[in-house]
Amino acid sequence: MRFDIITIFPEYFTPLEVSLLGKARRNGLLDVHVHDLRQWTHDKHRTVDDTPYGGGPGMVMKPEPWGEALDALAPPLPDGAPANRSGGTAVSPAQDQAGIQPSRSAGTKPEGLAGGSADSSTGGPPEGSASHAAGGMAGGSAQGRAGSQANGPAEHSAVGPSGGAAAGPAHGPAGSQLGGPVGSELGGPGGGELRGPAGSQFGGPAGGELGGSGGGPEDLPAGRAPRLIVPTPSGRPFTQALAVEYAAEPWLMFACGRYEGIDSRVVAEARGRMIVDEVSLGDFVLAGGEVAVLVMVEAIGRLLPGVLGNADSVTDDSFAPGAMESLLEGPVYTKPPVWRERAVPEILLSGNHGAIARWRRDEALRRTAANRPELAARLDPDALDKHDRQVLRDAGFPVDGEDMAH
């Protein structure tokens, strides 16, 4: 599966070199490319933001760099308005103005990507820009004009034309360097590198990327386009069900905004050639979309076959489709059986798998009713047996009231 991430802070994504996702990348299960948006700027300060039309606080990310980035990384398909690679249909500007979204063919399963990574000649990203994200999705909109100015163009003056940081290098966990203007490296446990402007793996202006191997967008199968995900507080909620849907895609692209967000025309134009989802992590505001994208990449990546050591692990997750949908996972225990005078529930030591399964479901019902009653309200009453209902009643949840689904 291929991920392309466009950001003004490519170094934000060094965590993708470690843990399960780092191992998945090294094993060829994930093909991740991080691109510096400032690669597609043309002024001395490599500006990516400007003041908003209509006035008001904050800054807005300019459409020109974003348009060039999308053109370079996901070139428009030939012959006008093509069918989307996922079976969806592109929409015209007039349709977009009318709020018509691209549709996806029922039952269409996206085909696999022929591997390959973005070629450095396509351009990479720069640092520091303006846009926002909320719901864990896009940058903070709560900044006032003074704060925006401090983090906007003035911030850019600290970044040289080649994208190098004005500050000296910081040392990474493997003794390597982060942030030198001319090709410093951040070595991860798998040997991943963060290099600078000469166009290396992590966001140099000549086309940075994080990992991946061989070939660029031009080597992708003909007639394909990525599914573009834009973190924003005004988007649809990111859920486990949506993570499952995204995990079935061969190619996802993420646009990390900052400040007040990306000029709305960028999303409108992109919808003419690919599926675009505006997504939010929740009802809160972040300083940028990078954290949100890290969350989504991990939630999606761990669902891919071979990423987790035990494929059955995902079936018992909170919110997992099936028996755990709309339920939180209950408490878990490991050795020793007694710790600081606290014993593991005896049922878990009994070896009675049926009784253990019943106990785990009871605990999931109790925890969901206590911590997330709005989730418990979505439970399908027809899927609850007599015992389920009694557990919920004992937990003080109105099983037979109007709060239940239907």
Q: What is the pLDDT of residues 173-202, one digit of tens each?
A: 333 333 333 333 333 333 333 333 333 344
State residue 270's pLDDT score: 97
Question: Which residue range is the domain that position 367 belongs to?
Answer: 316-406
The listed range with the strongest mean pLDDT (63-67, 107-111, 114-118, 166-170) is 63-67
317 catalytic per annotation: yes
Number of structural domains found in the chain? 2
Last residue of a domain, one of 274, 301, 328: 301
Which position among 271, 302, 360, 366 bears the catalytic label? Answer: 302
The Cα-based distances of 269 to 66, 266, 347 in angstroms read 11, 5, 58
Asked if the structure places residue 307 within a domain, the reply is: no
* Catalytic site residue from 317, 325, 388, 403: 317
Residue 18 in domain: yes
The domain that holds 332 is classified in CATH as: 1.10.1270.20
Task: Report residue 101 as tokens.
Answer: 């979204």
Is the domain of 297 the same as that of 322?
no
Q: Are residues 349 and 241 located together in one domain of the fold?
A: no
Are 175 and 234 members of one domain?
A: yes
- Same domain for 68 and 214: yes
* Alpha-carbon distances of 85 from 106, 155, 347, rounded to whole Å: 14, 38, 50
**Highest mean pLDDT range out of 147-156, 203-212, 256-265?**
256-265
Domain end residue (candidates: 301, 328, 343) = 301
Tokens of 367: 């925890």
Are both 234 and 354 inside the same structural domain?
A: no
Can 233 be counted among the known catalytic residues?
Answer: yes
Residue 309 domain-assigned (yes or no): no
pLDDT digits (tens, 9 = 90+) for 260-280: 999 999 999 999 999 999 999
Catalytic residue among 233, 250, 360, 363: 233
66 and 126 in a single domain? The answer is yes
330/233 same-domain check: no
pLDDT at 144: 35
DSSP 24: H
Choose, from 260, 269, 277, 290, the residue flagged as catalytic: 260
Of 246, 273, 301, the one marking the end of a domain is 301
H-helix segments, 124-219: 145-151, 153-156
Within this chain, do residues 219 and 361 fall inside the same structural domain, yes or no?
A: no
- Residue 311, domain member (yes or no): no
